[in-house]
Structure 1
């Protein structure tokens, strides 16, 4: 009986040890998967920043300038209208509203030259502005920067409207804007993931 009892005890210990190793193996697999997913996220984020640099015109502008204020106000108005609208009512996409607001701001800003304003005026007068803008504009947005008195203005226009694109660039420069080239910096989430991965190594 004694020997049988010891044999059973050793068997139980062996089974417990095997189960423990399996649990440890599964835990390691989960940890490795999480690490790989984090690295993939960082890689994709870096690729997106490269694509943005290649396709968007990006300017750092004073947060108080007319272009930034107009784009922000358009975004706020869109958010308010979206809350108040009924189910049957539709709204233009926010980047189109922001772009139209930017063009109106350029026309009204005394710091911007008459030649630039003339290009904008001619574009808006050509045919219904909403349809024209929807055909050529893919991106138009303003976002915060680390410095509170500076905002990032990004836009993309079809190559068929390169004269209008140059007019917007001229307007940004007239408002003491600085164009950014190359990949943008990592965002807070990217930095947090990178820091966690580095500390785990």
Structure 2
């Protein structure tokens, strides 16, 4: 036998049922959604911070590899060799702008290094064997793309100095060493170890510190 009990819902019963609903939810999952949004925001912030850390780590490794593979020298801005390299880079930029991408040019580092070879060959302070090697390389320009990997100039914070970065094939190591000794005697300074952080790296590092 089944017994059905019918109980009328009164105002007191409704109040009791409403008391079972967590305060501030209005019968919905509002706080849960807020917590989910907060968790998502925290996760995104953590991801961004990790990406910044990864970028800084990669940049540090690049600076380390660059220090191992590329020789960097700081020249007096009026050094003849540095001036020749800088002017060659400026001429290359002008030619590239005039052509507007319609005609291809050789890589810029070849133009800069060719100017350095010409300056070395004409420099009376350079040892004769180094000057002769520069002349030989100028006579075989078709081989230069296989010998020159990096050669570029850039500005320094000190306007009285300029930076030269160069990397040659190992078979040119003796030639580059002879040039470097001469340049150091003329007032240049070879930099060793990784370069300091650049402006963008410092900005990223500051965001981690501030966070």
Scaled to the shorter chain, the TM-score interval is: 0.7 to 0.9
Distance of 2:133 and 2:101 partners within structure 1:
38
Bigger-Rg structure (1/2): 2
2:169 is aligned to: 158
The 8 Å contact of residues 96 and 140 in structure 1, kept in 2 or not, is answered as: yes
Cα distance in 2 for partners of 1:63, 1:22 equals: 59
State the 1:40 CA deviation.
0.6
Q: Using the TM superposition, give the Cα deviation of residue 176 of structure 1 relative to its aligned residue in structure 2, in angstroms.
A: 1.1
Offset of 1:68 from its aligned partner? 2.0
How far, CA to CA, are the matches of 1:55 and 1:155 in structure 2?
9
Q: Distance in 2 between matches of 1:191 and 1:146?
A: 16
Tell me how far apart the structure 1 counterparts of residues 22 and 71 of structure 2 sit (CA, whole Å).
74
Shifted more, 182-191 versus 116-125: the winner is 116-125
SS at match of 1:92: coil
Q: Is 1:71 matched up with 2:82?
A: no
Q: What secondary structure, in the 3-state scheme, does the structure 1 residue paired with 2:29 have?
A: helix
TM-score normalised to structure 1 length: 0.86
TM-score calculated relative to the size of structure 2: 0.82
Structure 1, residues 73-125: CA drift from partner, whole Å, max 9, x if none? 22222221112226652200011111111111222345545443222113223
* Aligned twin of 2:179: 168
Q: Which moved more, 1:54-63 or 1:104-113?
A: 104-113
Give 1:188's aligned residue.
Answer: 199
1:46 equivalent to 2:60? Answer yes
Cα distance between partner residues in 1 of 2:132 and 2:153: 24
Q: Which moved more, 1:144-153 or 1:164-173?
A: 164-173
Q: 2:50 aligns with which of 9, 19, 36?
A: 36
Between the aligned partners of 1:184 and 1:29, the Cα distance in structure 2 is: 34
How far, CA to CA, are the matches of 1:94 and 1:34 in structure 2?
36
RCO comparison, higher one (Cα < 8 Å, 6+)? 1
Distance (whole Å) between structure 2 residues aligned to residue 29 and residue 47 of structure 1: 27
Note the C-alpha offset of 1:10: 5.2
Secondary structure at 1:193's aligned position in 2?
helix
CA distance in 2, matches of 1:141, 1:194: 28
Structure 1 residue runs without a partner (length 5+): none
More helix by share: 1
Structure 2 gap segments, 5+ residues each: 1-10
How far 1:34 moved relative to its partner?
0.8
CA RMSD in angstroms comes to 2.3
